[in-house]
Structure 1
Amino acid sequence: MIAVWIVAGILLALFLLLLCPVTIVVGFQKEFTIKIRYLFFTYQVAPPKEKPKKEAKEFPESEKKEPEEHKKSKFQEILEEKGISGLLKLLRQVGEVATRTARRLFSHLVVTRLHLEILVADEDAAQAAVNYGYVCGIVCTALSAFLHNCICKRYHVQITPDFDQKESSAVLDFQAHIRLLFLISGVLGALMHLVQLQKEGGQAVQSIS
């Protein structure tokens, strides 16, 4: 009987942990800052924390190996890209994910703060107008898809053209949370969907060959 109560207590504790929210905080002002918080733990995604440099050991020139090139993911490339272009690419990626692969996952996402201000600047008035239309198209399309598939409590979006300054600028302050239970189920569902697509693709190739 005691073992049953212990197992029940462990299962209840796990269930309560699954109900706790995972908070995502994203900021942008010349560069990205991304943090993920769960209970008392915080993980900084970007910018990565600098690791202490170890003293390099000296090797003979014959034993020296050339450093291998590390392939970066699209997400890493977007984060490392500074300026408004990197922010626009991230917004476009989020909009595509919200409408395609992770619609069910985003339906459980609760946005508590979304503050986005973009200043589109160029000394040439005609070019500034073209850039302004381009930015509005990307931002409106991405955010409409994102906000349509999630729960948003408060947001402020402002895009302003400026014909006096040379460089454009942007400020993003975003915070949202999702229960760990929905996060895990959404990720598992997306993985199962991906595996199913790969199986169907393999069967189609075999039938054609």
Structure 2
Amino acid sequence: MLWLYILLGIVLFIALVMFIPITLRASYKEKFWCAVYIGFVKLQLVPAKPKKEKKKKKAKKQTQKTEQPKKATEKKPSLIKKYGIEWLLNLIKKVAELAVSALQDFFSHILVKKLSLSISVAGDDAADTAIKYGKYCAVIYPAVGTIVRVVKCKGYGVDINPNFSEKAETEINFDFAARIFAFRLIGLAVKHGIKGIKLLAEVKND
């Protein structure tokens, strides 16, 4: 019966690992901050934590070896010359299709828990402020709309306002949190990894 308990323990451990949430958090308020949480483990990306200085190891004396003259290697024909331009274009097309499919699957499994963006736009004068405000709106609103359509979004808010006060400066406040489960990433890696291996096999067989 001991082996059965061990087997159940392994299965339970794998199940727990598979359902570990992987969360990306990012924020901006004068400074940019970004971190990845794997379960309760935090990996800070920006700003990077300063690395501890390692003690300098004593340099070991290296024995000098007499360099032997390298044999001239024959140049292999380029892939384009060997297979033709049509083969290369077909390969690029297949790689692009695989990349697009993988990205679509990846983004479809992401849950955006929070997307908050607030911008107070200011320029040198009223006219400059109005021009900058129009540019910000023309870029940010369509970009956020695209994100909301591609991924599952629990809550989001975008607020862009012009600030016509004298000596005002543009202020940006950003807060973002998105989550995906480990089993989703593993499933995507297996699914599209197999497709990639098949594509590689086709290239080698050509």
So what's the TM-score if we normalise by structure 2? 0.64
Segments of 5+ residues of structure 1 without an aligned counterpart are 60-98
- Equivalent positions of 1:105-116 (< 5 A) are 105-116=106-117
- Checking the alignment, whether the CA contact within 8 Å between 1:116 and 1:171 is kept in structure 2 is yes
1:133-186, Cα deviation, whole Å (9 max, x unpaired): 221122112211111122222222101112234532211111222111112333
Give runs of aligned pairs for residues 33-112 of structure 1, distance below 5 A: 33-53=33-53, 102-112=103-113
Map 1:1-209 onto structure 2 (within 5 A): 2-53=2-53, 102-164=103-165, 165-187=167-189
Distance 1:188 1:42, change over 3 A: same
Amino acid at match of 1:133: G
Two-structure CA RMSD over aligned residues (Å): 3.1
Relative to structure 1, the CA distance from residue 54 to residue 7 in structure 2 (aligned partners, 3 Å threshold; closer, same or farther) is: closer
Give the distance between the partners of 1:46 and 1:2, measured in 2 at CA. Answer: 47
Contact 1:121 1:128 survives alignment (8 Å): yes
Distance 2:193 2:101 in 1: 13
Larger radius of gyration: 2
Distance in 2 of aligned mates of 1:109 and 1:118: 25
Assess if the C-alpha contact under 8 Å between 1:118 and 1:158 holds in 2. Answer: yes
**Structure 2 counterpart of 1:169, one-letter code:** E
In the TM superposition, what is the alpha-carbon distance from 1:43 to its structure 2 partner?
Answer: 0.6
Corresponding residue SS for 1:102: helix
Matched residue of 2:109: which SS?
A: coil
* CA 1:191–1:134: 2 relative to 1, 3 Å: farther
Q: Is the 8 A contact 1:114 1:155 kept in 2?
A: yes
TM-score (norm 1): 0.64
Provide the C-alpha distance between the structure 1 equivalents of 2:151 and 2:187, rounded to a whole number of angstroms: 16
Q: Which runs of 5+ in 2 are unaligned?
A: 60-99
Q: Percent identity?
A: 30
